[in-house]
Amino acid sequence: MSSYPYLYTQTYSYTPFFSLVLPVLALLVIVAGGLALYFLFVRKPNTYKGSAAKLHDIFTFRTFFTEKLIRALYCIVAVAIAVYSVMLLFSHFFAALFVFVVGNLVARITFEYALLLLVLCRNTQEINRKLGPLPAEEAAPQEAAPPVPPQPPEQAPVPPQPQDNPPH
């Protein structure tokens, strides 16, 4: 009969499938999926219709959904701060009041700053779209020719002038 500490050591063992094979298969699926998305959506121009066009816009970063995500996260954080301050209310009244007021204020300022950066990015993109391509971007880049030393300006030959001979 075995002693107590050694009784449960035989029950815990890892199979090589979960520790070696499964991560390799997951990595292969991740790489294949990423390449498929790149070649199907990102690389091609948007000729799709419906939900495929929306996917193309998302994968090429033409559509941003970060603003909606930030607003949803702010709502979650504000509710979490309120619930935590109510829980804290039963043990520390002033700490709960402080967390409720200052926590919501800090969360609001932080999320407004994040939204401000997004609006700044969107406005910059709109200005660039309205300006159109710059003249340097329209012309194809040309190879730079070797510098030519400056030449003195050519002068036209001066025709001979009749000389005035004074009378003797």
pLDDT (tens digit, 9 = 90+) per residue, 66-125?
888 899 999 999 999 999 999 988 888 999 999 999 999 999 999 999 999 988 988 998
CA distance 157 to 159: 6
Q: What are phi and psi of 40, to 5 degrees?
A: -85, -35
Which residues in the chain belong to E strands, given as ranges? none
> Per-domain residue ranges for the chain?
17-62, 64-131
Other residues' Cβ atoms within 10 Å of the Cβ of residue 56:
19
CA distance 164 to 145: 52
- 55 confidence band (pLDDT: 50, 70, 90): confident
Evaluate if residue 141 carries a pLDDT over 60.
no
Q: Provide the token pair at 79.
A: 């509710």
In eight-state DSSP terms, residue 2 is -
Does residue 163 or residue 116 have the better pLDDT?
A: 116
Query: How much is the pTM?
Result: 0.52
Half-sphere exposure of 67 (CA within 13 A, CB side): 10
User: Would you say 41 and 56 are in contact if contact means Cβ atoms under 8 Å apart?
Assistant: yes
Average pLDDT value for the chain:
79
Q: Provide the token pair at 102.
A: 């200052």
Question: Is the CA virtual torsion 139, 145, 148, 154 positive or negative?
Answer: negative
User: Would you say 81 and 99 are in contact if contact means Cβ atoms under 8 Å apart?
Assistant: yes
**Residue-level pLDDT at 150:** 73
CA distance 71 to 118: 12
Cβ density class 57-66: b for 16+ within 10 Å, e for less: eeeeeeeeee
